[in-house]
Amino acid sequence: PGAAHPAPATIDLMFALSSGDWRIADATEAGVRRECSGLVAAHLQWHLERALRSLPLVDRGAPAPGADSVNRE
């Protein structure tokens, strides 16, 4: 009870992110990315045993500054 039940596409995205498969990660839909982001944030906060005060300031929908200049291969 109370456990998350992520969509299979969200699990695929998490696996792609953990293995560095940027082609798959970049091809995911916004809803899948949102679910993944929420699960990762919840997991991190649970392990830290505290809330991240800066988390609401992060715009999860916008690419990070300079993201285009990062070599993803």
Walking along the chain (73 residues) 10 residues at a time, the average pLDDT comes out as: 93 97 96 93 89 71 54 52
Q: Is the dihedral of CA 53, 65, 33, 19 positive or negative?
A: negative
pLDDT of residue 1: 83
Retrieve residue 56's tokens. Answer: 């609401």
Retrieve residue 21's tokens. Answer: 């498969």
Predicted TM-score of the model (pTM):
0.70
- How far from 45 is each of 1, 23, 50, 62, 71, CA to CA, in Å? 19, 28, 6, 22, 29
pLDDT of residue 56: 72
